[in-house]
Amino acid sequence: MRPRNMALMSDDDRALRPTATPGQRVDAIQAALDARGMAASEAVAQLSHLAQEEWVPRNGARVVARAWVDAEFRRRLLANGRDAVTELGIAMPPHHRHLVVLENTPGVQNVICCTLCSCTAFTVIGLPPDWYKDLEYRSRVVRESRTVLKEMGLDLAPDVEIRVWDTTADTRYMVLPERPAATAGWSEAELAGIVTRDSMIGVAKL
C-alpha cells in the first residue's frame, strides 16, 4: 500500500519506489512553484517562447552575413562582439559580458566547446544540440580535434591550423565562417540564409 505521507517513509521505503521520469520531475517543480504563487507557468511560457523562437541561429547568421558585406562592421565585430551584435538588435544575457568572434581563414579553423558544462552564446547562435553537450564531444574535441572534426564530416587539410576554444568562464565565443566563393553578388539576406549553427560552432564549413 502506498504511504500517504512521504515524510514518514523510511529510506528503505523510498528506495522501493521507482524513480520519477524527468517529465514528472519537471511537472512537480513547476506545480510546487505555482502553488507558492510564484507564477512559474507564466514565466515558463514566456521563456519557452524565447528559447524556441528568439534565441535561434538566425541571429548569428545575420551577424555573419553583415560581417561578410560590411568591412567596418566586421572590424567592430572582431574588436567587441557584444557591442556589434547589439547593433543588430541581438541581446545577450547580463552574465555574458564579453563575446569573442573567431574568424576562420583558409589556414585556420576555429571550433568552440564547453568541457565543464555546455555553455554557448545561445542568444546569438542558438541553444546547442545534444552532440555539443554529450560526453563524447566534451571529452574528445580538445584532445583529438582533427579526428573529431573528420568524424563530423569536416576533413581538414593537414596544414590547416585548428584552434579549439573551451568556454570555461562567462566569455562567449562564436565562429565567423569563411564566405563561400560561389556567393559573389548575393544580397545580405541571401547570405544569412546559408549560415548554419554548426558553422558558427566551427564543426562545419559552408
Partner 1 sequence: MDGVHDMGGRQGFGRIRYTRDARAFHDDWEVRANSLYAFAVRRGIFNMDEYRHAIERMDPRHYIAASYYERSVTSLATLLVEKGVVTREELETRAQGQFPLAGPSAPGRSNVAQRSRFDIGDRVRVRVDYVPGHVRMPGYIRGKAGVVIGQSPPYPFPDAHAHALPAQDEPTYDVRFRSDELWPESSEVALVHAAVFESYLERA
Asked if 143 is part of the footprint of partner 1 (rule: CB under 8 A), the reply reads yes
114 is known as an active-site residue: yes
Asked if 125 is part of the footprint of partner 1 (rule: CB under 8 A), the reply reads no
What is the smallest separation between the CB atom of 167 and partner 1, expressed in angstroms? 7
Cell of 173: 565565443
Cα distance between residue 97 and residue 92, in whole Å:
8
Residue 15 CB burial class (10 angstroms; 0-12, 13-18, ≥19): exposed
Query: What phi and psi values does residue 111 have, to the nearest 5 degrees?
Result: -145, 135
113 is known as an active-site residue: no
Site for partner 1 in 44-103 (CB under 8 A): 44, 46-48, 51-52, 95, 97-98, 100
Residue of 119, 145, 187, 199 marked active site = 119
Q: What is the DSSP letter of 85?
A: H
Stretch that binds partner 1, among 38-46, 69-77, 177-185, 187-195 (CB under 8 A): 38-46
Q: What is the DSSP letter of 158?
A: T
Asked if 13 is part of the footprint of partner 1 (rule: CB under 8 A), the reply reads no
What amino acid positions are annotated as catalytic residues?
A: 114, 117-119
